[in-house]
Amino acid sequence: MSEHHPGTLALVGGREWGDGCTFDADLLAASGGDEVVVLPTAAAYEHPQRAVERATSWFAGLGARVRGLPVLARTDADDDELAAVVRAARFVYLADGSPMHLRSVLKQSKVWHALDQAWEDGAVVAGSGAGAMVLGDPMIDPRGGAFTIGLGLIEMVAVLPAASSWSTERLRRTVSLCPASVVLAAIDEATALVRAPSGVWTVSGLGAVEIHVGGALADLSALPG
């Protein structure tokens, strides 16, 4: 029986679709298509159309078109037509914004199940900032740095985005609160932690990624394959 591999997964530390995000060309190539479905859900209260416009401009430079999907509230996430678009997509990108809103909208929704199924069938899934945070489980609660339930596309991995903007004290506290069984990935802005279908993880972009396990620094091999 052959082992099943889902598609490429990219966890971006924020400041997506701009200088340094060289990984997007590789993600586009991995998708095998020329369209990116962007969910501006996390930016629902922060001019979501602006996120779609930035993505449209950025990916146009890479020879691709963007389809912004107006999944802004829970009713949108349970819309059959919107879920069908996600299910058929080859590249789905979750924009930055509020992780708590993003989680509440997508949790156990039709759109979320469609995204999960698309990824299992080989689609590329990327999330930036809040979008990256919710893809793991557990998830860092940005209100205090403790841990809460994420959506769990990838399990036992917690994402700390925009890592270089965190104070040493705040980072240390979050590392200390992280369950010993969970891998904490602190990812800089315009930087991607990418999991290939083979299960191999790499880092791409402007900055760095720090991996913490059990309160100690580790390397990428600590991440689940």
- Specify the pLDDT at position 2: 39
- Specify the pLDDT at position 37: 98
* Residue 46 within any structural domain of the chain: yes
- Specify the pLDDT at position 1: 33
Mean pLDDT by 10 residues, the chain (225 residues): 75 97 98 98 96 98 98 98 98 97 98 98 98 96 86 96 88 90 96 97 97 95 93
- Specify the pLDDT at position 4: 59
* Residue 19 within any structural domain of the chain: yes
Q: What's this model's pTM, rounded to 2 decimal places?
A: 0.96
Domain count of the fold of the chain: 1
* Residue 49 within any structural domain of the chain: yes
* Residue 3 within any structural domain of the chain: no
* Residue 4 within any structural domain of the chain: no
* Residue 2 within any structural domain of the chain: no
The boundaries of the domain holding residue 52 are 9-220
Q: What is the CATH number of the domain that holds 16?
A: 3.40.50.880
Q: How many CB atoms lie within 10 A of CB 172?
A: 13
* Residue 59 within any structural domain of the chain: yes
* Residue 1 within any structural domain of the chain: no
